[in-house]
């Protein structure tokens, strides 16, 4: 492995809170401890949920906290064609198929999976005939591209998993999420594919993020194997919770970094409220 490269990759769908700051601080801590790089990426593919004001706020809040990053900020919406090309590659490999089920069925699957995941898609459109698909497409029916887990897994004839820093080998079971959505008309590519693609092109070799994304990692290492991309190491950290044990969410305004700032707190005050994660940087 060359120099360590980590990243913080929020979606501009709300204001950053303490949990985000802690995650960014940990990722940055790994990079700084190893003399590597810490990158910032804005995952703003889902135009319906992302806002420019939140993107600007992310930059501002991180800067205020002193969480500086290396190089330019990568903005995913500027690379849509690259993601479409990835989908085309997967289509040529025969591992994705169009799903015409209602948007409601697939809407929850396009963003980063969080909280209570919907039950896996039952695969209704996996067996549609070519004529049927062509007719529906000719009629302008909206569809999503879904990963054919069974076919994809069959093409990767080796153990699937990743190195979890501090733990060791983690076995991947991507089939647990079912045939996930990789692309959609209104969101050209899903979190699974865009984040994996960007980690590869940005040469990120340690992904530090919350444990809520562990299930997504299983799908992402499958995509890496299919597309011939290097597999980073991963460090899934615990999520920050409030006094009642609930995980912090962007909707909880009282923990937003800018509210702390507006209330007159200094960056050093906020940092003191973060878990002692900077001392948990281990490169095992
Ligand atoms: Zn379907």
Q: Report the pLDDT value the prediction gives residue 256, as an integer from 0 to 100.
A: 87
Closest CA to 267 of 17, 30, 63: 63
**Ligand 1 centroid from CA 53, angstroms:** 35
The pLDDT of residue 255:
73
- Expressed in angstroms and rounded, the spacing between residue 182 Cα and the centre of ligand 1 is 13
pLDDT the model gives residue 34: 93
pLDDT of the residue at 205: 97
pTM of the model: 0.89
Could you write out the DSSP letters of every residue in the chain?
--S-EEEE---SSS--BHHHHHHHHHHHHHHHHTT-EEEEEE----TTT--HHHHHHHHHHHHHHT---SSPPEEGGGGHHHHHHHHHHHHHHT-EEEE-S-HHHHHTTTS---SSPPPPP--GGGG--HHHHHHHHHTT---EEEE-HHHHHHH--S--EEEETTTEEEE--GGGG-S-EEEESSSSS-HHHHHHHHHHHTT--EEEEEGGGHHHHHHHHHHHHHHTPPPPEEEEEPPPB-TTSPBP-TT-GGGBHHHHHHTT--HHHHHHHS-GGGGG----
pLDDT in the model for residue 249: 65
Measure 123 CA to ligand 1 centroid, in angstroms: 6
Show me where the domains of the chain are located: 5-280
Q: Is the four-CA dihedral 98, 100, 106, 107 of positive or negative sign?
A: positive
d(C-alpha 85, C-alpha 63), whole Å = 34
CA 104 – ligand 1 centroid, Å: 11
Closest CA to 56 of 231, 216, 258: 258
| Ranges of the chain with pLDDT below 50 | 106-110, 283-284
Q: How far is the CA of 199 from the centre of ligand 1 (A)?
A: 29
How far is residue 281 from each of residues 29, 207, 276, 277, measured CA to CA in Å? 7, 13, 10, 7
Q: How far is the CA of 129 from the centre of ligand 1 (A)?
A: 13
Q: Which of 11, 55, 18, 9 lies closest to 256 in space, CA to CA?
A: 18
Question: Rounded to the nearest whole angstrom, what is the distance from the C-alpha of residue 261 to the centroid of ligand 1?
Answer: 46
Q: Tell me the CA–centroid distance for residue 101 and ligand 1, in Å.
A: 4
Residue 119 confidence (pLDDT): 77
Q: Ligand 1 centre from 148 Cα, in Å?
A: 12
Which is the CATH superfamily of the domain at 5-280?
HUPs (3.40.50.620)
Kindly give the distance from the C-alpha atom of residue 124 to the centroid of ligand 1, in angstroms, as a whole number: 5
CA of 211 to the centre of ligand 1 (A): 29
Q: Which residues contact 195 (CB under 8 A, 6 or more apart)?
A: 9, 43, 112, 216, 220
DSSP for 46-111, written as a single string? -TTT--HHHHHHHHHHHHHHT---SSPPEEGGGGHHHHHHHHHHHHHHT-EEEE-S-HHHHHTTTS
Centre of ligand 1 from the C-alpha of residue 44, in Å: 25
Question: Is the torsion defined by CA of 5, 10, 116, 182 positive or negative?
Answer: negative
Predicted local confidence at residue 47, as pLDDT: 85
């Amino acid at each position: 492995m060359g120099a360590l490269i980590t990243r913080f990759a929020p979606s501009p769908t709300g204001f950053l809170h303490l949990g985000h700051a802690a995650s960014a601080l940990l990722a940055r801590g790994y990079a700084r401890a190893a003399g590597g790089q810490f990158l910032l990426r804005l995952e703003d593919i889902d135009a319906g949920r992302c806002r420019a004001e939140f993107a600007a706020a992310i930059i501002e809040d991180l800067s205020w906290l002193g969480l500086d990053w290396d190089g330019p900020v990568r903005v995913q919406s500027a690379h849509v064609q690259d993601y479409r090309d990835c989908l085309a590659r997967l289509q040529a490999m025969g591992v994705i198929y169009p799903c015409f089920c209602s948007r409601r069925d697939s809407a929850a699957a396009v963003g980063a999976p969080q909280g209570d995941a919907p039950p896996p898609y039952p695969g209704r459109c996996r067996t549609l005939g070519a004529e049927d698909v062509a007719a529906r497409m000719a009629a302008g029916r909206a569809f999503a591209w879904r990963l054919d887990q069974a076919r994809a897994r069959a093409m990767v004839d080796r153990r699937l998993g990743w190195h979890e820093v501090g733990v060791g080998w983690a076995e991947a079971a991507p089939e647990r999420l079912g045939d996930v959505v990789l692309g959609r008309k209104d969101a050209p590519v899903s979190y699974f594919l865009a984040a994996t693609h960007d980690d590869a092109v940005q040469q990120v070799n340690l992904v530090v993020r919350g444990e809520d994304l562990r299930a997504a990692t299983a799908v992402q290492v499958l995509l890496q194997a299919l597309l011939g991309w290097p597999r980073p190491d991963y460090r899934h950290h615990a999520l920050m919770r409030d006094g009642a044990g609930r995980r912090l969410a962007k909707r909880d305004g009282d923990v937003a970094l800018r509210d702390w700032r507006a209330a007159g707190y200094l960056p050093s005050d906020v940092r003191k409220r973060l878990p002692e994660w900077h001392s948990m940087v281990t490169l095992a």
